[in-house]
């Protein structure tokens, strides 16, 4: 690896992705395409309306997702991943793969009585 620690941009990337719900939101948008707020709320059980709104706004501010408001009553709001946001797909896939391996590693350690 040829990353110079003093020039490392991992912290910048984590600043955008860190949040309990952000990776889950992004995976739902990548898998299912455009979704309304209520669909995302239903697909991400446990998230509060306030927290979902906050996480969506942060992702929108970083140009990772796009929010479209339709002028109708009641208001219709849809969220979709931007082309730029799609560049996160291999990163999220790698994180998922590592998380799976780590979970298996921890289970093996527990079975061996090491943890």
User: For the segment 76-95, what is each residue's pLDDT rounded down to a tens digit?
Assistant: 999 999 999 999 999 999 99
State the pTM of this model: 0.85
What's the distance, Cα to Cα, between the start and end of the chain in Å? 30
The series of mean pLDDT values per 10 residues for the chain, 115 residues long, is 77 87 95 95 95 96 96 92 96 93 92 71
CATH of domain 5-87: 1.10.10.10
- Joined together, the tokens standing for residue 7 give 């020039």
**How far is residue 62 from each of residues 3, 6, 66, 113, measured CA to CA in Å?**
24, 24, 10, 44
Domain ranges for the chain, please list them: 5-87
What does R_g of the chain's alpha carbons equal in angstroms? 17
Which pLDDT belongs to residue 12? 85
């Amino acid at each position: 690896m040829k990353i110079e620690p003093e020039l490392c941009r991992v912290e910048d990337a984590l600043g955008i992705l860190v949040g309990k719900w952000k990776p889950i939101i992004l995976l739902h948008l990548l898998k299912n395409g455009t979704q309304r707020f209520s669909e995302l709320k239903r697909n991400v059980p446990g998230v509060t309306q306030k927290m979902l709104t906050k996480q969506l706004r942060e992702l929108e501010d970083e140009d990772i997702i796009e929010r479209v408001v339709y002028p109708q009553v009641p208001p219709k709001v849809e969220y979709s991943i931007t082309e730029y946001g799609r560049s996160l797909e291999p990163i999220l896939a790698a994180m998922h793969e590592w998380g799976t391996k780590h979970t298996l590693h921890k289970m093996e350690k527990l079975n061996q009585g090491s943890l």
